C-alpha cells in the first residue's frame, strides 16, 4: 500500500482513477487477510472492529478519486464503485463489527433508515415551502432584514433544548384540537394574515407566528405520515394525536428540524435575489414586464443557483441532525447510535453513523448536480 500511495501522484486523470481502484482492491485484500488471521479459531459470532488505519484509508481514497475527478471527470471514478461492489460480493467485510451488527439488526435497520429519510425529507420539504418565501421577503429592503436574524436565532438554541421546548405545546395541541378545528384555524389565520398585510398592519406578525407554528406542526406530521413507514390515520373529528401530532415522536422532531433548516434556505434565497444587478430589473421593466413577470421570468431563474446552494446545505444539515430525534422517540438511524452508546458497543454506533455520512454525501452530490442542471445558460 505504501508503494501505491507513493506512486499515485505520478499518474493523472483516468489513469489515477484506475490505480486508485486497484488500490481499493489491494486494501480490501489486506483487510480480509488481517480479519482472517485475527479470527482464526474464534467462534461464529466473533468480529473485528475497524482500527485507525482502516478509517484513515477511506478519506485517502476519497482524495485520490476526487483528484482524478477534477482532472478527467466522472469517467475517472468508475473504478471506485466497481471495486467496492466486488469486495462486498466477495464477503471481504463480513466479519467486521458493523456488518455483524447489521446482520443482527437487519429487519429493524431498514425500517429505521426509512424513518430517518422520512423525517429528514418531511423537514426539508417544509423548510423549502417556508424558507423560500421568507428569503424573498428578507430581500425586499431593510425593513425585513430582521427575518434572517430571527431564523438565525433559532440556530443558537441547542437541539435537545428545542426538542424539549416543543414537547409541552404539542402535547397540549394533540389533546385540545381536532384535525378539522386545526385546519379551520389555519384557513382563518391565513385570511387574517392576508387582510392585515393588505392594510399594512403590524398585527400580521402577531397572527402569522402562532398560525405558522401550528401549520408546520400539522403539515409536518401529515408529511411524515405519508412518507414514513408508520400508517397515517386521518379522522377530521378526532384529536390531532390521531394524525400524528404528539408531544413526543415524529411531530416535534420534524418541526424542530424544519426550524433548523430555515437559515441556509432563507440566507441563500436572499443572497441570490440581492445579487441580481439592478440594470437587469430596469431592463425587464423597460420591456413592459409586470412585477409578477419580472420575478418569475428574471429574478427567480437568476437567483436559483444560490437558492439551491441553500437547499443543499439544509439537506446535509438535516440528515445529520435527525440522529438526535431518537432521543424523543422519533426513531431513525440515531436509534442505533443511542443503543450503542448505552451498551458501550462502538460497532453498533458505527451502524448508525456510517449510513448517515453516506446519505449526507449522496444528498450533497445529487443536489449539487440538480443545481447545475437548473442553472440558466450564461449564469456562472
Asked if pLDDT for residue 380 goes beyond 60, the answer is no
| Cα gap 346→59, rounded to integer Å | 20
Nearest to 323 by CA among 345, 346, 350, 344: 350
Contact 323, 266 (CB under 8 A): no
Distances (CA, A) of 235 to 166, 179, 228: 24, 7, 18
For residues 71 and 77, what is the distance between their CA atoms, to the nearest angstrom?
A: 11
CA dist 347 to 59, 129, 351, Å?
Answer: 19, 38, 6
Residue 72 has pLDDT above 70, yes or no: yes
Average pLDDT over residues 373-378: 72
SS3 call for 200:
coil
Q: Please provide the size of the chain in residues.
A: 380
Residue 167 has pLDDT above 70, yes or no: yes
Q: What CA–CA distances, in Å, run from 352 to 99, 187, 268, 343? A: 12, 40, 30, 14
- Under the banding of pLDDT at 50, 70 and 90, the label for residue 168 is confident
> Is 239 in contact with 173 (CB distance < 8 Å)?
no
Quick one: what percent of the chain has pLDDT higher than 70? 98
Q: CA 190, CA 182: separation in Å to the nearest integer?
A: 12
Gap between the Cα atoms of 102 and 119, Å rounded: 22
Q: What is the pTM of this model?
A: 0.85
What's the rounded Cα separation, in Å, for the pair 323 and 318? Answer: 9
pLDDT tens readout for residues 6-38:
888 888 888 888 988 999 999 989 888 888 888
CB 292 within 8 A of CB 105: no
pLDDT tens-place string over residues 284-331: 888 888 888 888 888 888 888 889 999 999 999 999 999 988 888 888
Question: How confident is the prediction for the chain on average, in pLDDT?
Answer: 86
Cell matching residue 278: 439592478
Q: At what angle do helices 203-227 and 106-138 cross, to 10 degrees?
A: 150
CA-CA distance, 118 to 279, in Å (whole number)?
A: 43
Cα 40 to chain centroid distance, Å, stands at: 42
State pLDDT tens for residues 73-119: 878 888 988 999 999 898 888 888 888 888 888 888 999 999 999 99
Q: Are 153 and 162 in contact (CB under 8 A)?
A: no
Q: pLDDT digits over 126-148, tens only?
A: 999 999 999 998 888 777 778 88
Amino acid at each position: 500500500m505504501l508503494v501505491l500511495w507513493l506512486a499515485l501522484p505520478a499518474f493523472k486523470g483516468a489513469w489515477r482513477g484506475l490505480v486508485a481502484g486497484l488500490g481499493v482492491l489491494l486494501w480490501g485484500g489486506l483487510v480480509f487477510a488481517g480479519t482472517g488471521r485475527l479470527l482464526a479459531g474464534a467462534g461464529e459470532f466473533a468480529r473485528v472492529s475497524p482500527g485507525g488505519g482502516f478509517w484513515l484509508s477511506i478519506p485517502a481514497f476519497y482524495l485520490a478519486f476526487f483528484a482524478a475527478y477534477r482532472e478527467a471527470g466522472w469517467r475517472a471514478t468508475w473504478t471506485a464503485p466497481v471495486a467496492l461492489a466486488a469486495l462486498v460480493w466477495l464477503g471481504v467485510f463480513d466479519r467486521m463489527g458493523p456488518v455483524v451488527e447489521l446482520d443482527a439488526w437487519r429487519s429493524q435497520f431498514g425500517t429505521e433508515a426509512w424513518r430517518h429519510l422520512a423525517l429528514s425529507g418531511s423537514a426539508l420539504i417544509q423548510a423549502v415551502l417556508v424558507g423560500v418565501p421568507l428569503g424573498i421577503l428578507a430581500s425586499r429592503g431593510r425593513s425585513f432584514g430582521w427575518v434572517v436574524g430571527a431564523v438565525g436565532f433559532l440556530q443558537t438554541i441547542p437541539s435537545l433544548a428545542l426538542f424539549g421546548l416543543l414537547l409541552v405545546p404539542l402535547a397540549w395541541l394533540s389533546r385540545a384540537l381536532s384535525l378539522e378545528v386545526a385546519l379551520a384555524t389555519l384557513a382563518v389565520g391565513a385570511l387574517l394574515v392576508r387582510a392585515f398585510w393588505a392594510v399594512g398592519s403590524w398585527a400580521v406578525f402577531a397572527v402569522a407566528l402562532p398560525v405558522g407554528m401550528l401549520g408546520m406542526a400539522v403539515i409536518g406530521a401529515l408529511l411524515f405520515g405519508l412518507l414514513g413507514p408508520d400508517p397515517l390515520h386521518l379522522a377530521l373529528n378526532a384529536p390531532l394525536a390521531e394524525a400524528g401530532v404528539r408531544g413526543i415522536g415524529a411531530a416535534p422532531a420534524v418541526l424542530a428540524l424544519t426550524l433548523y433548516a430555515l437559515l441556509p434556505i432563507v440566507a441563500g434565497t436572499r443572497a441570490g435575489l440581492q445579487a441580481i444587478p439592478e440594470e437587469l430589473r430596469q431592463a425587464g421593466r423597460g420591456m413592459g414586464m409586470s412585477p409578477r413577470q419580472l420575478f418569475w421570468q428574471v429574478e427567480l431563474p437568476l437567483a436559483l443557483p444560490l437558492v439551491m446552494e441553500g437547499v443543499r446545505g439544509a439537506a446535509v444539515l438535516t440528515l445529520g441532525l435527525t440522529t438526535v430525534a431518537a432521543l424523543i422517540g422519533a426513531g431513525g438511524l440515531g436509534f442505533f447510535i443511542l443503543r450503542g452508546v448505552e451498551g458501550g458497543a462502538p460497532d453498533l454506533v458505527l451502524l448508525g453513523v456510517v449510513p448517515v455520512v453516506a446519505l449526507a454525501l449522496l444528498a450533497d452530490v445529487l443536489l449539487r448536480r440538480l443545481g447545475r442542471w437548473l442553472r440558466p445558460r450564461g449564469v456562472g
